[in-house]
Amino acid sequence: MTHFAQLSQRTQTKLMTLARPLDANKSDLLLSAEAPWTCVYWLSEGVVRMYYLDQDGQEHNKRFFLAGDLFWPVTHSLRTKAIGFSIETLSPVLGQYWLFDEFKSAFKDNFEWLIFNQIWMERLLEAKLSRERDWLQLTAIARYRQLLVDQPTLIDQVPAHHLASYLGITPVTLSRLKKTHNLNK
């Protein structure tokens, strides 16, 4: 797992020993909005989404994860309070997971954990700032084009209605934009 390459051999071995198999079906809920997030996930196959439900029950996609992605509750509040969003599989999923406390305890020392944690916090912050910039400064078609550049595999692996929600448009609008701008893959 490339996500662990910078870790000591001791820590990598302990993480692999503590890993539990993740084998989920399409549409399985890995985490509900009412629960704290207590697991670290690594996907070897499949697609997972994070989404919010608004007061009218409409879904709004927040983020997608694909094979090779590691995702986990990086803040204390995510681990101790209801997270407010759900995590669901969009396809059959294989991988591994760890209980967060066990995952953290596998690290050789606090310094190694802090380095690992900082790397992931920076990645999360960069992704969030980029997404916020795109939402505020780009049109829907420009956001779709940016998605084609930044995450082309999403286009092939995530259903169009979920991509539309992620882009902040309806599925009909996404279809029209793709036709009008000749963006069908």
Go through the domains of the chain in sequence order and give each one's CATH number: 2-109 (2.60.120.10)
Predicted pLDDT at 22: 98
**Residue 53, number of CB atoms within 10 A of its CB:** 13
Residue 52, both tokens:
């919010």
Q: Which amino acid is at 168?
A: G
pLDDT digits 0-9 by tens, 54-83: 999 999 999 999 999 999 999 999 999 999
Residue carrying structure tokens 């692996």: 157
Q: Looking at the whole model, is its pTM more than 0.75?
A: yes
pLDDT band, very low/low/confident/very high, at 184 (cuts 50, 70, 90): low
Tell me the mean pLDDT in the region 88-109. 96
d(CA 67, CA 18): 20
Residue 70's SS3 state is strand
Predicted pLDDT at 182: 75
Predicted pLDDT at 181: 76
d(CA 132, CA 138): 10
